[in-house]
Structures are given as structure tokens and as C-alpha cells.
Structure 1
Amino acid sequence: MSEIEIITDGGRRRRWSAAEKVRIVEETLYAGESISAVARRNGVAPNLLYRWRRLMLDGGSVAVAGDDDVTSNRTVRQMEERIRELERQLGRKTLEAEILREALEKAQSKKRTLHALSSLKDGSR
């Protein structure tokens, strides 16, 4: 009967720095090796390396560093369009406020002029 050796990993997860993640993902992009080979060499699970690679290709190294989901380009374009529309509306409202302010100043100026003229007429009679 042969002996069987069981190796355990200790149950702890390894923490990867953003620089390590980027370096390992770059190996898959430029080395011409399979992702599985790069994963084995660096001690990373292939599915995790696939995830890092997808995150990096979708959102750059910032997404890999934070290990966050990435906002799609379509969503970003929609948000940018909404911002442009809101800026246009703000510009219109600002212009309207300036026009109304000028109209109010002119009306007050005319009122003072008319009031001054009417007091001159009343005083001369």
C-alpha cells in the first residue's frame, strides 16, 4: 500500500496589491502564454486571473486595484449626455435670470424718472 500526502493551504486568502495584479495581467497580454500557465506560475487561480483581466480591459488598472465592478461605456455616455443637457438648461435659466434682472433695473429706473417728473410738474402748478 502507498502513502498519500494531503497538502492544505492553511485556509487563508492571499492579498494581492494593485501593482501585482497589473503585472500578472500584463503577463497574459504580452507574453503570448495561456492565462492558465501565467496563473500557475504566479500562484493565482485561473478564474481569478480571468476576472482581473476582464476588469482591467474594461476599466483599466483602477478597477483592478479596487476590485470593483466597472461602469459600461454606454452608461458613461448616457451620464455625459445628461450632464450636457443639464448644463444647457442651467445656461438658459442663467440667461433668463440676467434678462429679468436687467428688465427690473430698467423698470425701476423709469419709475424713478417718472416719479421725479411728476413731482416737478406738481411743484410748478
Structure 2
Amino acid sequence: MPLIRLFTIFLLIISLSECSSVPDQFGKLDLKKWRGDRGGCNGVRAMLVPDFRAEIQNLKGKTTNTIGELLGRPDINQIADRNQKFYIYFLEKGTHCDQPGMKSNSRSVAIRMSAIGLATEVTFQNGLP
């Protein structure tokens, strides 16, 4: 009987953890606005760059899933050497907005994800890293 009770508690904990909603704020960064500006095409992400920069150290060490939940699906998911990848988020409107799939030199931020799925580096550049 105690095993069944333990199993029931375990299922309850699992179901409660799955119901947790994604936060709208990460430190100073307004995540709702960030996620709402897919590709940076509306100019909202560009205004959020100072708040994003303030939270860079807090993003490092987060898992791939957590980064995706916080910032939304990346605009580009780029595979790198040694099972690493980059999550790339555009910060401003560019050719990628009007012609999806076209190379864009718009400002972007890249989050390097290690082979074990942790954010290790955050860089800013024009286009892709």
C-alpha cells in the first residue's frame, strides 16, 4: 500500500510541474514582448537589447529547453562542430522578414549550446555567427 501512495504522489508532482506556465519576465527582460517579435521584424527586440544584455550571465548554464521556453523558438537553429548548436534570434527587420530562408545581415544574437545542452556563450553579430 505505501508504494501505491508514493506512486500517486509522484504522479501528482509530475502533473503539477507540467502545468507551470512560462514566465513573462526574466530579470529586466520582458519575455512576452521578446517572444512576440518573431524574427525581430516589428522592431521590438531591438528596443529590448539593453535588458537582454543585462541578463546574459543569467542565461549561461540554462538548458536548451529552458532557453527555448524563455526566449521562444529560435529564428535559426544552426548546427556546429562537436554536437554544439547555436540558437539565433534576429534583433531587427531584414531580408529574413520578407523572404524567409534568404540570408540576412541583420543584427542578431547567438546563444551557443554545448554538446550536453547548456548555454555557454552569447554573442552579438550581423547575420549568422
Q: TM over 0.5: same fold?
A: no
TM-score bracket relative to the smaller structure? under 0.3
Give the structure with the larger strand fraction: 2
Q: Which has the higher contact order (CA 8 A, sep 6+)?
A: 2
Which is higher, the Rg of structure 1 or of structure 2? 1
Give the structure with the larger helix fraction: 1
